[in-house]
């Protein structure tokens, strides 16, 4: 908070509209005069398309730097909507927590559980757990939350901190043809598709997800390349499950010493499985929490209700009433959610339009790092403003040049990890098996090299360490794997030599 309080508005260099045709100049001036925020009209104006977690963080960081910010969100306000928004569990690690602190938004996670680790319920009812090594007071463990809780908390905190500088406007959509980059205007539409008055901007931010309309407006519909797509499995989420339905041992593992744990029922390779996670009701306690569930299945199975219900019922040790709830949840008309794709974009903006979050660097849920990566990009954009002294004609290029290589390295790691997870079931079995071998060797090598430096820790651990860059992390994967292969080779050679020596003695 001290860092946020120390942030001061930076001088922003704004070009006038003299270069525009007369009609566009009139449109820009009229739109600027229609702005209704509490900040001075002399302040530069930013429009952020998308008010999810990344859009909210971006808005706060821009407001700290003297911008008047308008956030446009096609969905309803999650705090007031009567329908249940889609949600899913999210882990915010130390990198993300640092960004929230700098944006003075760490209060949005008040009451969230520390992320203690993962647990698995085995077929015989026994439990296997993997702890992160942190407790409820440890920053290392990060925070366990879900999309709905995080987004609602961020909206609340942004309103508290920037009541006069940030406007959150819900139920308005932005399409690719809504954006006029020449006139620097956005013409949103209401829920019926009716055009609303044009809004002018000095800086436009696309935080509108993997199917970004802002990205399409700037680069066209074919700008992204899909490196990996998790098409096989989809999921549905059920909230507010009675925790008394769970065995005592599972409840104790789910919330242990004030830390929350994800608990999986069933194998990742099975046709269907369930991941349960806690959400606090009123604070970080061991008892006052509700249970939510993510029900996962093959896409084709989710589309066959009876077969899906049977597959869920076959998950070992999953309480029958929860299995029944999963079957009922699947009978709704809404399509299930997918785990996303790794989508590559060469540049993260152009002119005065910047892309953050999945609009710039979509990833899957494999590593649970999408939100933290997006928050890091929001901070990188703010730092580009600082480094260019607010020159809006230079900031997007500076941001893209600095951030794109970092995000690209994480995307490469994401693809590698996803292929390794698929193993022999990957569409190219040999490549999948090789990736799995390399990942195993990487882990073995890291056991040795991490004693020398933390940068050689397994990448799944380094993801939460802001001291380790994504590029360094990718390099360490290669080095760790080489050391791991060397260890196995030496051990194998020693074993063979010992066997030969023993054979000679016997003969």
pLDDT in tens, 324-363: 988 888 876 678 888 889 999 999 999 999 999 999 999 9
Residues 74 and 203 in one domain: yes
Lowest mean pLDDT among 24-33, 34-43, 418-427: 24-33
Residues 441 and 318 in one domain: no
Residues 186 and 218 in one domain: yes
Residue 10 lies in a domain: no
Based on C-alpha coordinates, what's the Rg of the chain? 25
pLDDT at res. 35: 36
CB environment 138-155: b (16+ within 10 A), e (fewer): eeebbbbbbbbbbbbbbb
pLDDT for residue 29 is more than 50: no
pLDDT for residue 83 is more than 80: no
Residue 23 lies in a domain: no
In three-state secondary structure terms, 253 is: helix
Q: Which residue has better confidence, 369 or 33?
A: 369
pLDDT for residue 506 is more than 50: yes
Residue 63 lies in a domain: yes
Q: Which residue has better confidence, 31 or 322?
A: 322
Q: Which residue has better confidence, 233 or 344?
A: 344
Per the CB < 8 A criterion, the answer to whether 477 and 493 are in contact is no
User: Of the residues 362, 396, 416, which one is the last residue of a structural domain?
Assistant: 416
Other CB atoms within a 10 A radius of the CB of residue 222 amount to 7
pLDDT at res. 126: 87
pLDDT for residue 206 is more than 90: yes
Residue 29 lies in a domain: no
pLDDT at res. 134: 46
For residue 333, give both structure tokens.
């008309």
Residue carrying structure tokens 């436009």: 204
Residues 357 and 255 in one domain: no
Residue 290 lies in a domain: yes
Mean per-residue pLDDT, 233-243? 87
Lowest mean pLDDT among 89-93, 127-131, 430-434: 127-131
Q: Which residue has better confidence, 103 or 421?
A: 103
Residues 224 and 145 in one domain: yes
Per the CB < 8 A criterion, the answer to whether 98 and 65 are in contact is no
Query: Where does 317-422 show beta strands of DSSP type E?
Result: 337-338, 341-344, 349-350, 353-355
pLDDT at res. 84: 62
pLDDT at res. 39: 55
Residues 72 and 144 in one domain: yes
Query: Where does 251-319 show beta strands of DSSP type E?
Result: 255-256, 259-265, 272-280, 289-298
Mean pLDDT of the chain: 85
Residues 291 and 321 in one domain: yes
pLDDT digits (tens, 9 = 90+) for 251-265: 888 887 778 889 999
pLDDT for residue 304 is more than 70: yes
pLDDT at res. 45: 97
Residue 133 lies in a domain: no
Residues 393 and 485 in one domain: no
pLDDT for residue 435 is more than 70: yes
- Percentage of the residues of the chain whose pLDDT score is greater than 70: 88
Residues 282 and 318 in one domain: yes
Q: How confident is the model at residue 11 (pLDDT cuts 50, 70, 90)?
A: low
Tell me the C-alpha distance between 325 and 262, whole Å.
19
In terms of DSSP bridges, do strands 203-206 and 353-355 run parallel, antiparallel, or are they unpaired? parallel
pLDDT for residue 174 is more than 90: yes
Q: pTM to 2 decimals?
A: 0.86
User: Of the residues 363, 383, 416, which one is the last residue of a structural domain?
Assistant: 416
Residue 124 lies in a domain: no
CA triple 394-468-6, angle to 5 deg: 55
Residues 211 and 193 in one domain: yes
The three-state (H, E, C) secondary structure of 467-489, written as one string: CCCHHHHHHHHHHHHHHHHHHHH
Residue 82 lies in a domain: yes
Residues 196 and 239 in one domain: no
pLDDT for residue 133 is more than 80: no
User: Of the residues 338, 370, 401, which one is the last residue of a structural domain?
Assistant: 338
CATH code of the domain in which 214 resides: 3.50.50.60
Per the CB < 8 A criterion, the answer to whether 162 and 58 are in contact is no
> Which residues make beta-bridge pairs with 167?
70
Residues 204 and 103 in one domain: yes
Residue 156 is part of which domain span? 45-115+138-229+341-416
What's the total number of domains in the chain? 3
pLDDT for residue 6 is more than 80: no
CB environment 435-457: b (16+ within 10 A), e (fewer): bbbbbebbbbbbeebbeeeebbb
Residue carrying structure tokens 């569409």: 427
pLDDT at res. 142: 84
Query: How would you class 189 by CB atoms within 10 Å of its CB: exposed for 0-12, middle for 13-18, buried for 19 or more?
Result: middle
Lowest mean pLDDT among 21-35, 92-106, 493-507: 21-35
Mean per-residue pLDDT, 414-422? 88
């Amino acid at each position: 908070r001290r860092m946020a309080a120390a942030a001061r508005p930076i001088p922003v260099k704004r070009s006038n509209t003299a270069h525009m045709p007369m009609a566009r100049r009139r449109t820009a001036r009229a739109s600027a005069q229609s702005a209704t925020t509490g900040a001075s009209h002399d302040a530069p104006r930013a429009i952020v398309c998308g008010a999810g977690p990344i859009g909210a963080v971006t808005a706060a960081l821009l407001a700290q730097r003297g911008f008047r910010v308008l956030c446009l969100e096609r969905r309803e306000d999650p705090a007031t909507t009567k329908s249940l928004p889609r949600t899913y569990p999210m882990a915010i690690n130390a990198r993300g927590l640092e960004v929230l602190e700098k944006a003075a938004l760490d209060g949005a996670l008040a009451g969230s559980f520390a992320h203690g680790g993962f647990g698995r319920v085995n077929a015989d009812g026994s439990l296997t757990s993997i702890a992160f090594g942190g407790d409820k007071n440890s920053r290392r463990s990060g925070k366990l939350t879900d999309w709905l809780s995080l987004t609602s908390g961020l909206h609340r905190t942004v309103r508290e901190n920037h009541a006069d500088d940030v406007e959150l406007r819900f139920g308005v959509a932005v399409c690719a043809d809504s954006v006029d980059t020449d006139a620097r205007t956005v013409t949103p539409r209401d829920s019926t598709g009716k055009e609303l008055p044009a809004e002018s901007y000095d800086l436009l931010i696309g935080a509108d997800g993997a199917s970004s309309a802002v990205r399409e407006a700037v680069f066209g519909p074919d700008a992204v390349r899909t490196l990996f797509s998790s098409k096989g499995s989809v999921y549905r989420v059920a909230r507010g499950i009675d925790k008394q339905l769970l065995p005592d041992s599972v409840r104790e593992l789910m919330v242990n010493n004030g830390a929350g744990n994800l608990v999986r029922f069933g194998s990742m390779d099975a046709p269907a499985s369930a991941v349960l996670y806690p959400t606090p009701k009123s604070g970080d306690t061991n008892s006052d929490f509700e249970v939510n569930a993510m029900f996962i299945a093959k896409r084709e199975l989710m589309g066959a209700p009876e077969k899906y219900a049977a597959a869920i019922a076959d998950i070992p040790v999953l309480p029958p009433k929860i299995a029944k709830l999963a079957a009922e949840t699947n009978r709704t008309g809404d399509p299930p959610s997918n785990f996303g794709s790794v989508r590559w974009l060469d540049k993260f903006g152009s002119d005065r339009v910047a892309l953050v979050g999945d609009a710039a660097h979509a990833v899957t849920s494999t590593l649970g790092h999408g939100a933290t990566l997006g928050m890091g990009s929001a901070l990188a954009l703010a730092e580009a403003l600082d480094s260019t002294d607010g020159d809006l004609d230079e900031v997007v290029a500076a941001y893209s040049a600095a951030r794109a290589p970092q995000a690209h390295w994480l995307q490469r790691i994401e693809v590698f990890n996803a292929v390794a997870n698929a193993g022999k079931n990957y569409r190219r079995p040999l490549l999948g098996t090789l990736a799995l071998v390399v990942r195993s060797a990487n882990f073995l090598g890291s056991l040795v090299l991490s004693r020398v430096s933390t940068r050689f820790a397994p990448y799944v651990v380094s993801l939460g360490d802001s001291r380790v860059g994504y590029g360094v992390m990718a390099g360490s994967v290669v080095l760790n794997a080489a050391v791991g292969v060397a260890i196995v080779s030496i051990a194998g050679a020693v074993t063979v030599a010992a066997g030969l020596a023993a054979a000679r003695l016997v003969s």
